[in-house]
């Protein structure tokens, strides 16, 4: 797929017209646009080149309707009649036949319901999605020879037992939200992909969309500020999974069971760890918008050339980093989050998990530790144990084979040198993969392998789950809640999630999306993450969503930064962290 990396754009900014010429190759809209344009041109040629001939009003109207859907334009009955190629009265009869077949849906444009727009139904979108692949196969067979057809079946999109998810369809009733739909999100590639699809989603939900995007720390602050307002300034807010407990305790978000039937979300379709991470006290408080585990990225080509196996353990990471580290040639062993504060705090917690140590005392269960009953309280920090010390000493060893600016590296900085071919390995969330997967000029393009966190002597392979859930603010005006729920369902549906992926995202919180054959062709990440989920390697206990987790993350990130700088020993740093963590966890939530 020839695409540019996702840009940091917001819904509130102007977007280019999403005509067929501007659609990114490989997206469902681009495929639909291609077959719609082809069939329209072919139909025109047949109608004008051969005499006598008869127009096909059914096909002409469906093509016009689909073109309007792709370009985000409202389509009326009269415009369909004009596109039909037959007299008005005949066109209206043919239009009724298409509607009776369940291929067109009406959406009221006024309260009276006398004025309405027309939209393709899910059935029509699904049929044309299937038609797009068949038309391509027929064309290749006719003009490129049988080899292309064989490649299509045995090396292309045919996967037994799987069907491609159809593009998202417009809501039957447009959202009636004064001032439009307002969303607070994190400024990462996945949410920015949503920004790039602004006009299309406005067409689907029937209202303007306004999105504000912040860095992780500022997002946390803004969500808490919003909770202090009499009425929420946002209809939906993105919540980092570890914040769930804190935001419930502080009354920032409300349980989904109060406002909707959660069966509409098809909960079993979400990755188990991602869905469980949105719960507190047994109730769901959000819908996974991203499920993005942190993995180890490594250069497959470099390891193959040197005859090295991918690193499965922490000791093997150190050995490989030592092997590839050559600062005089501008090459380094490994990149990771070592910037002071939140970034390093996350790193330490997840490294502890890979060494078999949760940061609080959690009961052991099959596959790891139990983080499903945290609402009971009474947490005891476990930050100065032997395993935590081994994790801290591992980070100290990594320093010897890291880039010179490692102490200021955070979320994006660690992936950029990896993408540029300067680093052999990098810890990174899958949502950061577009920085090299979508840029053919990157040395890491097509040469990256993905692994769970290499483990310590007493740990096991683990892929700590990150990402965000979309939540309903507790102080959202009641008259806006029902509409916000509909938007929540639309934005987290399989069709919407697939669209994000095909537009550049590398997160898929649903099994159905990760298993979609068109999605799997785009990146090995999706199959890899699905396999990790089935092996129970995807876990959310490494960052337990307890109410004071943000304070603990910042604490670890500050104290261990002094350790990495050589100002204190690992033992001293962990003793300080343990003592302060005990105080923090005894402090009541405001």
Report residue 265 as tokens.
Answer: 């979300």
pLDDT (0 to 100) of residue 82: 82
Mean pLDDT, residues 579-590: 90
What is the CATH architecture of 181-291+466-530? Answer: 3-Layer(aba) Sandwich (3.40)
Which SS3 state, helix, strand or coil, does residue 484 take?
helix
Give percent above pLDDT 70 in the chain.
Answer: 87
Does position 361 have pLDDT exceeding 90, yes or no? yes
CA gap 131, 151 in Å, rounded: 18
Instruction: Provide the b/e sequence for 159-194 (b: ≥16 CB within 10 Å).
Output: eeeeebbbbbbbbeebbebeebbbbbbbbbbbbbbb
pLDDT (0 to 100) of residue 144: 54
- In this chain, the answer to whether the domains covering 20-155 and 292-462+548-586 adopt an identical fold is no
**Cα angle for residues 463, 468, 469 (degrees, 5° grid):** 120
Number of Cα atoms under 13 Å in the Cβ half of residue 444: 25
- Summarised one tens digit per residue, pLDDT across range 368-411 is 899 999 998 889 999 999 999 999 999 999 999 999 999 999 98
Does position 9 have pLDDT exceeding 60, yes or no? no
Q: Are the beta carbons of 300 and 418 closer than 8 angstroms? A: no
- Summarised one tens digit per residue, pLDDT across range 45-82 is 776 666 777 888 888 888 888 888 776 677 888 888 88
Domain limits of the chain?
20-155, 181-291+466-530, 292-462+548-586
Phi then psi for 238, rounded to 5 degrees? Answer: -85, 130
Q: Distances from the Cα of 305 to the Cαs of 301, 302, 308, 319, in angstroms? A: 6, 5, 8, 16
- Summarised one tens digit per residue, pLDDT across range 491-509 is 999 999 999 999 889 998 9
CATH topology assigned to domain 292-462+548-586: D-Maltodextrin-Binding Protein; domain 2 (3.40.190)
pLDDT (0 to 100) of residue 22: 45
pLDDT (0 to 100) of residue 241: 95
Name every residue whose Cβ is closer than 8 Å to that of residue 192 and which is 6 or more positions away in sequence: 6, 7, 8, 9, 10, 213
Point out the least confidently predicted range of 54-68, 109-123, 234-248, 311-325: 109-123
DSSP secondary structure string for all residues of 377-425 = ----B--SSHHHHHHHHHHHHHHTTS-TTGGG--TTTTHHHHHTT-EEE
pLDDT (0 to 100) of residue 48: 66
Residue with tokens 């069907």: 163
**Top-confidence residue, 155 or 296:** 296
CATH 1.20.120.450: does it fit domain 20-155? Answer: no
Give percent above pLDDT 90 in the chain.
Answer: 61
Q: Is 438 exposed, middle or buried (0-12, 13-18, 19+ CB in 10 A)?
A: buried
pLDDT (0 to 100) of residue 18: 36
SS (H, E, C) 221-237: HHHHHHHHCCCCCCCEE
Does position 119 have pLDDT exceeding 70, yes or no? yes
Beta strands 368-369 and 116-120: pairing type? Answer: unpaired
CA gap 147, 154 in Å, rounded: 11
Mean pLDDT, residues 522-543: 92
Does position 23 have pLDDT exceeding 80, yes or no? no
Residue 5: which pLDDT band, with cuts at 50, 70 and 90? very low
> What mean pLDDT, rounded, does the chain reach?
86
Task: With both helix axes pointing from N to C terminus, report the angle between 386-399 and 314-324 in degrees, rounded to the nearest 10.
Answer: 10
SS (H, E, C) 301-329: HHHHHHCCCCCCEHHHHHHHHHHHCEHHH
Classify residue 443 by its DSSP letter: T
Mean pLDDT, residues 427-446: 94
Of the candidates 198, 245, 276, 251, which has an alpha carbon nearest to the alpha carbon of residue 14? 198
Cα 331 vs. chain centroid, distance in angstroms?
31
Cα 447 vs. chain centroid, distance in angstroms?
22
CA gap 415, 433 in Å, rounded: 8
Number of Cα atoms under 13 Å in the Cβ half of residue 51: 1
**Cα angle for residues 474, 475, 478 (degrees, 5° grid):** 100
Mean pLDDT, residues 566-576: 97
Does position 120 have pLDDT exceeding 80, yes or no? yes
pTM greater than the 0.85 cutoff: no
pLDDT (0 to 100) of residue 157: 37
Which range has highest mean pLDDT (115-129, 310-324, 491-505)?
310-324
CA gap 465, 478 in Å, rounded: 32
- Summarised one tens digit per residue, pLDDT across range 244-284 is 999 999 999 999 999 999 999 999 999 999 999 999 999 99
């Amino acid at each position: 797929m020839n695409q540019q990396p996702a840009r940091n754009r917001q819904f509130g900014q102007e977007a280019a017209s999403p005509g067929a010429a501007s659609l990114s190759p490989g997206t469902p809209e681009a495929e639909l646009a291609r077959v719609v344009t082809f069939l329209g041109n072919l139909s025109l040629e047949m109608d004008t080149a051969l005499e006598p001939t008869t127009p096909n009003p059914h096909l002409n109207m469906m093509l016009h309707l689909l073109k309007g859907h792709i370009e985000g334009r409202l389509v009326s009955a009269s415009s369909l009649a004009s596109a039909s190629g037959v007299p008005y009265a005949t066109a209206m009869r043919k239009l009724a036949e298409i509607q009776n077949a369940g291929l067109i849906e009406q959406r009221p444009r006024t309260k009276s319901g006398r004025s309405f727009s027309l939209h393709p139904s899910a059935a029509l979108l699904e049929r044309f999605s299937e038609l797009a692949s068949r038309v391509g196969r027929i064309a290749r067979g006719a003009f490129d020879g049988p080899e292309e057809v064989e490649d299509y079946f045995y090396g292309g999109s045919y996967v037994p037992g799987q069907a491609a998810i159809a593009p998202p369809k417009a809501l039957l009733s447009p959202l009636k939200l004064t001032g439009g739909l307002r969303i607070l999100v994190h400024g990462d590639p996945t949410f920015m992909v949503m920004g790039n699809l602004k006009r299309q989603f406005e067409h689907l939900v029937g209202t303007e969309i306004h999105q504000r995007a912040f860095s992780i720390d500022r997002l946390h602050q803004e969500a808490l500020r919003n909770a202090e307002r009499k009425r929420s300034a946002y209809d939906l807010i993105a919540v980092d999974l570890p914040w769930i407990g804190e935001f419930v305790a502080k009354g920032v978000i409300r349980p989904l069971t109060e406002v909707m039937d959660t069966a509409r979300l098809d909960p079993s379709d979400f990755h188990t760890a991602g869905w469980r991470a949105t719960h507190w006290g047994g109730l769901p408080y959000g819908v996974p918008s991203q499920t993005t585990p942190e993995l180890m990225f490594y250069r497959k080509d470099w390891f193959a050339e040197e005859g090295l196996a991918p690193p499965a353990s922490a000791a093997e990471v150190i050995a490989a980093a030592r092997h590839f580290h050559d600062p005089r040639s501008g090459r380094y062993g490994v990149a990771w989050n070592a910037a002071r504060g939140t970034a390093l705090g996350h790193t330490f917690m997840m490294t502890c998990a890979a060494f078999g140590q949760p940061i609080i005392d959690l009961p052991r269960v099959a596959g790891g530790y139990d983080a499903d009953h945290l609402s009971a309280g009474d947490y005891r920090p476990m930050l100065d144990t032997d395993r935590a010390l081994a994790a801290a000493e591992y980070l100290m060893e990594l320093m010897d084979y890291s880039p010179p600016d490692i102490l200021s590296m955070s979320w994006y900085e660690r992936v950029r040198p990896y993408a540029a071919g300067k680093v052999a390995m990098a810890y990174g969330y899958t949502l950061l993969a577009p920085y090299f997967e979508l840029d053919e000029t990157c040395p890491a393009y097509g040469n990256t392998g993905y692994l769970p966190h290499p483990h310590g002597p007493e740990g096991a392979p683990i892929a700590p789950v990150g990402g965000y859930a979309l939540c309903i603010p507790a102080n959202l005006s009641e008259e806006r809640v029902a509409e916000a729920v509909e938007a929540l369902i639309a934005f987290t549906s399989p069709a919407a999630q697939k669209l994000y992926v095909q537009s550049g995202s590398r997160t898929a919180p649903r099994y159905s999306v990760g298993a979609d054959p068109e999605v799997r062709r785009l990146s090995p990440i999706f199959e890899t993450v699905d396999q990790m989920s089935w092996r129970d390697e995807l876990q959310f206990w490494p960052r337990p969503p307890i109410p004071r987790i943000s304070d603990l993350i910042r604490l670890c990130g500050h104290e261990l930064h002094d350790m990495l700088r050589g100002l204190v020993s690992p033992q001293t740093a962990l003793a300080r962290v343990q003592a302060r963590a005990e105080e923090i966890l005894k402090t009541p939530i405001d």
